[in-house]
Amino acid sequence: MSQSPIKNAPIKDPSITKAAENEGVNSSAEQTSSLSTSPEFDDSDKIVIQAQSLSKSVSTEKEHLTILKQVNLAIRAGESVAIVGTSGAGKSTLMTLLAGLDVPTQGEVSLLGKPLSTLDDEQRATLRSDSIGFVFQSFLLIPTLTALENVTLPCLLKGEKEDIERATQLLTEVGLKDRLTHTPSQLSGGEQQRVALARAFMIKPSILFADEPTGNLDQVTAAKIIEQLFELNKAHKTTLVLVTHDNDLAKRCDRTFYMQAGELEERE
């Protein structure tokens, strides 16, 4: 939905934002990570995402549509939070605003202590490429790059040297040690999403946003991806915002918010 280009680590080309779709996986849930985590945001009292009176409206030729209505939200470092709701409820819109991929009509988002309204597009993109990981329903891998190159890409976007060792370790953690030189078309949907997971953790993100990460996968594959997502999240002590329409999945998170017709409510 977002009009703005997804300038964060995954991809710079907005034309790729509505790409691929699929399935297939293999659990490595029992594997523990030997990789370093984000040191700056270990303080669990620290609020890393805050939304205040967040509203989003769009006008089309036919109508004026209010997609989000006065949403308030505060997420602490290390929490896992599910945002649940039916299709069209406004979940993805909320996620793009929280991640600074789009701007609200009203209200404010603070991300890692920075009010996003005070940052320009480029500063928001830098904040994302430094600290935020993304996993989308459509995996959004670069088709011409190998699995390893897709995973090291966030280093380049951040202006750093490719950390091939870390990328290899992450791909090993998601069970793709033997697929390093495969391109996306040579991988199953589930394998592609595992590459996307590894990529999301490449920059040691403080926050991971996952928007229906298993939406294009069959049930068995989806379950395995979810195990890996939670496993990586725990190992890397990342704050997780998981958008899903699956109530059972939501129960695995520390907190659950329900989105209905643009209104957000936390439930026990």
Ligand X SMILES: Nc1ncnc2c1ncn2[C@@H]1O[C@H](COP(=O)(O)OP(=O)(O)O)[C@@H](O)[C@H]1O
Site for Mg ion, rule CB under 5 A:
92
x/- track of binding to ligand X for residues 91-130 (CB under 6 A): xxx-------------------------------------
Q: Kindly tell me which of 57 and 169 has the beta carbon lying closer to Mg ion.
A: 57
Window contacting ligand X (CB under 6 A); options: 13-21, 86-94, 148-156, 200-208: 86-94
Q: Which residue is nearest to Mg ion (CB)?
A: 92
| CB-count burial class (<10 Å; 0-12, 13-18, 19+) for 33 | middle
Applying CB under 6 A, among 15, 36, 87, 219 the residue interacting with ligand X is 87
Residue 213 interacting partner from ligand X, Mg ion, none (CB closer than 5 to 8 Å by kind): none
For residues 221 and 146, the answer to whether their CB atoms sit within 8 Å is no
Residue 89 interacting partner from Mg ion, ligand X, none (CB closer than 5 to 8 Å by kind): ligand X
H-assigned helices in the chain: 91-98, 121-131, 147-157, 164-173, 189-201, 219-236, 247-251
Residue 76 interacting partner from Mg ion, ligand X, none (CB closer than 5 to 8 Å by kind): none
Q: Kindly tell me which of 195 and 253 has the beta carbon lying closer to ligand X.
A: 253
H-assigned helices in 90-161: 91-98, 121-131, 147-157
Q: How many residues contact ligand X, by CB under 6 A?
A: 13
Residue 85 interacting partner from ligand X, Mg ion, none (CB closer than 5 to 8 Å by kind): ligand X
Decide if residue 19 touches ligand X (CB under 6 A). Answer: no
Q: Report the b/e string of 50-86 with b at 16+ CB within 10 A.
A: bbbebbbeeeeeeeeeebbbebebebbbbbbbbbbbe
For residues 259 and 84, the answer to whether their CB atoms sit within 8 Å is yes
- Two tokens at 110? 């603070």
For residues 257 and 84, the answer to whether their CB atoms sit within 8 Å is yes
Count of C-beta atoms within a 10 Å radius of residue 32? 11
Interface positions, 49-68, toward ligand X (CB under 6 A): 58, 60, 65, 67
Q: Give me the least distance between CB of 231 and ligand X, in Å please.
A: 25
**Residue 81: closest CA among 125, 116, 50:** 50
Q: Give me the least distance between CB of 190 and ligand X, in Å please.
A: 22
- Two tokens at 13? 């080309």
Binding site for ligand X (CB under 6 A): 1, 58, 60, 65, 67, 85, 87-93
